[in-house]
Structure 1
């Protein structure tokens, strides 16, 4: 879910205006709502249970009721959509990488701009075709990606 944006830039601007929120605050609200719904899907929560858990973390009663009401209306459809996505996930088959080093055009500057390029070979279970995805990282982006992978690994380790 996190990789996909729920709203277009234009829709986000309209939401910012409607709720009088800064862009950063709107993104925090959207990420929080996404997390709550992901957890509801993962645990297959009943609307009353969702409302109770949201109130236990001190979410206002009216907001908890709104989540529970929306979950009652669309929860089962949402869970079914996730189940269908899980049945045909993309599987990582290969990983390759290379370093690209671009030199500045001016000999005086001598600035280097190193880039790491990951090549991910992914396939669907229903298709044996390997699709290659290339992701380019600056040093800082690669470091942030590494830290996220470390967090994911720690969470996986805690579950096993």
Structure 2
């Protein structure tokens, strides 16, 4: 896929561009370095940054809203993943980032870091066996789990959300080439939530929906 194709251009929120352009170069470099290092790790983690790290970043960057910090971090991660998917050259990545509205200094930082870590990020990400998974159907159920409480046992209601997934392919091709038509990955992902976790998950979905609405 050609990186000059406009269809491959990232779409980022103006809010994230403004905040990232204002980040101190040293801080931004450290954030980007942590992103590429963790994307290069074989052992995947649910999120690039844990909660303690996010709290420190929120203070260092003087960001007042959790949602703003999430947008900034996800934007930077997405830029790196986008570069890996299209196997972009550092010079093309710098130009690409500038065209999105980022300052030239930001583009230089990202491209310089990409020049050093591109191979390790690409080699790790292309080992992921299933990609482009789509949710075909969602089901839910409630069950009870026994929990110890003050010497006794109580039944705690738990929600199970089942995501029926389809559409992924198993491939070892490099990421700038079309995926192969090997066996499709079909699976069901089941997530268990207690009341507090389900509320947090719902709020996260609401945040994602608001971000999508702003892009439309």
CA 100–84 in structure 1, closer or farther in 2 if over 3 Å, else same: closer
TM value normalised by structure 2? 0.45
Q: Which structure is higher in RCO with an 8 Å CA cutoff and minimum separation 6?
A: 2
CA 135–76 in structure 1, closer or farther in 2 if over 3 Å, else same: same
CA 13–98 in structure 1, closer or farther in 2 if over 3 Å, else same: closer
Count of residues in Structure 1 that have an aligned counterpart in Structure 2 = 123
The SS at the match of 2:162 is strand
CA 120–59 in structure 1, closer or farther in 2 if over 3 Å, else same: same
- What's the CA shift for 1:21? 1.1
**Are the equivalent residues in 1 in contact too, given 2:138–2:162 (CA < 8 A)?**
yes
Q: Is residue 12 from structure 1 mapped to residue 54 from structure 2 by the alignment? A: yes
CA 132–49 in structure 1, closer or farther in 2 if over 3 Å, else same: closer
The SS at the match of 1:14 is helix
Q: Aligned Cα RMSD in Å?
A: 4.0
* Larger Rg computed on CA atoms: 1
User: Which of these residues, 39, 45, 64, is aligned with residue 82 of structure 2?
Assistant: 39
Query: After TM superposition, which residue ranges in structure 1, 4 or more long, deviate above 2 angstroms?
Result: 89-92, 95-102, 131-138
TM value normalised by structure 1? 0.59
Q: Which has the higher helix share?
A: 1
